[in-house]
Amino acid sequence: MSAAAQFSLEKALGSRPRDNRRETRSVCQGAVHLSRADDAEAAIIAEVVDVSSSGFRASYRERSLLVGTEVLFRHKFFQGRARVMWSSPVLNSTHSGFNVMRDC
């Protein structure tokens, strides 16, 4: 690789946003049913992208869930309540991060 190409590659990689994740993510797939805690009738069918010890990321086609919204979720391996921590449009869908709310 030429020095100019190497410099361009390093510059491109250096300009990427830094990953500030605090926990390891594991790839997980499968449908997850999401419904707002205050409206269980309006369900969203999403696809789990990955999981961590405190939450999960899911992709769905419906309009973004607002940050702070509490949802009930049901996946074939886990279920419970979670809070939307972030949402971001990605192509023709939305990705959202959910923090699972644990009962104390």
Q: What is the pLDDT of residues 42-99, one digit of tens each?
A: 789 999 998 888 899 999 998 778 999 999 999 988 899 999 999 998 888 999 999 9
100 closest CA partner among 87, 91, 92, 78: 78
Q: The domain 25-101 belongs to what CATH superfamily?
A: predicted glycosyltransferase like domains (2.40.10.220)
The domains of the chain are located at: 25-101
Tokens of 94: 């939305």
pTM of the predicted protein model: 0.73
